Structure 1
Amino acid sequence: MKLAATDFDGTFCPIHEPVPQSNIDAVKKWQAAGNKFGICTGRGLSLIDFELQKYPDLQPDYLVCNNGAVIVDKKKEILTSLTFPCEMLQGLLDMPLIHETNNPMRILTETDMYLLDIPTAMEFGLNIPMEKVTFAKAREMPKVVQVSMRCATVEEAQETTAKVRAKYPEIIGNINRNYVDLNLKEANKRDGLRRLLTVTKWQPEEIFFIGDDQNDLPAVEYFHGYTVETAQPFMKEAAKAVYPTVGDMLLRNI
């Protein structure tokens, strides 16, 4: 049995486009050969499930969500999660660069996501309705796994990450383009896949990871993974090989 894991946005699903049918067909052939397939994404469970409902023929064997903070099986049942300690979450939300930002922000629990009530003219960039919550309510939420911010630039996302980590070394900033997801530092796609193997006791003969941006880099490096032709040059340099699509990678290695 082989195990494949793909990033979703920009990798399995081109930006602002639907998932190519050729990718879905390749997944079905991969699974029919007795292999496992899953999506490894920065999206929370509710958001990736919202997308997957558009493609009933696509049935992943697992999902690694929130950059590795939440892992679920094919029935969407939680296998393991990494949640913020209450005091750390409250301290993070009280930081001036978070509490006083004009950038749109979300707070995500194991299963749901909410839009923080911030006065801003910038949209978060997701075409899905989200309930708004105040900072006061967010501070008391249980089982929070991620706080996400849409920054104006990649550089601002990097600066935000650096400032948060200076106060909380236990928090990592998973950056994807100009978005930054703040998770516990063990929540990354590399370690998420490793936890998946621990809880499922799967023992694949090979692991095939493919991604296209910064939050995929640790997994690409660790698993000697792959990237797609639309990825940034630094990803192509790190990858074992570059494929036109995820479907091409699956069929080449089936």
Structure 2
Amino acid sequence: MKLAATDFDGTFCPIQQPVPQSNIEAVKTWQAAGHKFGICTGRGLSLIDFELKKYPDLHPDYLVCNNGAVIVNEQKEILTSLTFPREMLQGLLDMPLIHATKNPMRILTETDMYLLDIPTVTEFGLNIPMEKVTFAQAREMPKVVQVSMRCATVEEAQAMTAKIREKYPDIIGNINRNYVDLNLKEANKRDGLRRLLAVTKWQPEDVFFIGDDQNDLPAVEYFRGYTVETAQPFMKEAARAVYPSVGDMLLRNI
């Protein structure tokens, strides 16, 4: 048995386009050969599930969500999760640069997501309704696994992450383009896949990870993974090989 793991946005699903049917057909061929396939994403469970419902022929064997913070099986049952300690979450939300931001922000629990009710003229960029919550409500939420923000630029996302890590070294900023996902530092796609293997006891003969951006880099380096032709140059330099699509990667390694 082999295990394939793909980033969703920009890798399995091209930006602002639907998932190519050729990728879905390749997944079916891969699974029919007895291999496991899953999606490894910065999206929370509710958001990736919202997308997957558009593709009834696609049945991942697992999902690694929230950059590795939440892992579920095929039935969407939570296998393991990394939640913020209450005091750390409250301290993060009380930081002046967070409390005063005009960037749109989301709060994600193990299963749900909420939009922080703050004055902003920028949309988060997701075509899905979200309930709004206040800072006070967010501070008291149980099982929070991620705080996400859409910054104006990649550089702003990097600067925001650096300032937060100065105060909270146990928080990591998983950056994907101009979005930053704040998770516990153990929540990354590399370690999420390692926890998946530990909890399922799967022992694949090889792991095939493919991603296209900065938050995929640790997994690409650790698993000697792959990337797609639309990826940034630094990803192509790190990858074992560059493929036109995820479907091509699956079919060539079946």
TM tier, shorter chain?
over 0.9
Aligned to 2:102: 102
SS at match of 2:124: coil
TM-align CA RMSD: 0.2
1:172-183 matches, cutoff 5 A = 172-183=172-183
SS at match of 1:14: coil
Which amino acid letter does the alignment assign opposite residue 139 of structure 1?
A: R
- Measured in 2, the distance between the counterparts of 1:122 and 1:51 equals 22
- State the 1:229 CA deviation: 0.2
- State the 1:121 CA deviation: 0.2
- Measured in 2, the distance between the counterparts of 1:207 and 1:227 equals 14
1:50-129 matches, cutoff 5 A = 50-129=50-129
Structure 1 gaps of 5+ residues are none
- State the 1:168 CA deviation: 0.1
Q: How many residues align?
A: 254
- Measured in 1, the distance between the counterparts of 2:91 and 2:213 equals 29
Work out the percentage of aligned pairs sharing the same amino acid: 89
SS at match of 1:172: strand
Which amino acid letter does the alignment assign opposite residue 149 of structure 2?
A: M
- Measured in 2, the distance between the counterparts of 1:96 and 1:67 equals 25
TM-score by length of 2: 1.00
Deviation by residue 1:113-163 (Cα, 9 ceiling, x = unmatched): 000001000000000000000000000000000000000000000000000
Kindly report structure 1 stretches of 4+ aligned residues shifted beyond 3 Å: none
SS at match of 1:173: strand
- Measured in 1, the distance between the counterparts of 2:21 and 2:151 equals 32
- Measured in 2, the distance between the counterparts of 1:35 and 1:86 equals 39
- Measured in 2, the distance between the counterparts of 1:102 and 1:23 equals 38
Structure 2 gaps of 5+ residues are none
TM-score by length of 1: 1.00
1:134-213 matches, cutoff 5 A = 134-213=134-213
Aligned to 1:43: 43
Which amino acid letter does the alignment assign opposite residue 182 of structure 1?
A: L
SS at match of 2:219: helix
Which amino acid letter does the alignment assign opposite residue 128 of structure 2?
A: I
- State the 1:38 CA deviation: 0.1
- Measured in 2, the distance between the counterparts of 1:96 and 1:49 equals 33
Deviation by residue 1:60-88 (Cα, 9 ceiling, x = unmatched): 00000000000000000000000000000
Which amino acid letter does the alignment assign opposite residue 53 of structure 1?
A: K
